[in-house]
Amino acid sequence: MELPADVTVTVLNQEPAPLTGCVRDRSHRLMEVWLNQSVPVGAPLKLEAESTLYLGEVAACRPEGTGYATLLEMDQAIRCTNELGMLAQRLMEGR
């Protein structure tokens, strides 16, 4: 599955301040994302890309240039989040 270059990363055990990242490489369960802020190794996170939400944890984070090359190990993927959101809204409205 192709991912867009730009993603939103939220570290789940910190204050909810989403980070904007850029996907640089992806394999089966690993994804390298460039972030402008360091994140702790082992931290749980969610990554949002278009209509897909990934859950995983930080496997490595190292300084690179003006940011950080961050390796993420992704455990779960929830696809079609746009459609799920619309369905939830309709259900809440009683349609």
Q: Is the pLDDT of residue 84 over 70?
A: no
Tens-digit pLDDT profile for residues 36-71: 999 999 999 999 887 788 899 999 999 999 999 999
Q: Is the pLDDT of residue 1 over 50?
A: no
Domain extent listing, the chain: 6-93
Among 41, 83, 52, 78, smallest CA distance to 23 is for 52
Tens-digit pLDDT profile for residues 6-31: 899 999 987 778 899 998 887 878 99
Read off the pTM. 0.74
Q: Under CATH, to which class is 6-93 assigned?
A: mainly beta
* DSSP track, 20-41: EEEEEEE-SSEEEEEESS---T
- What pLDDT does 88 receive? 60
Distance, CA of 33 to CA of 20 (rounded, Å): 10
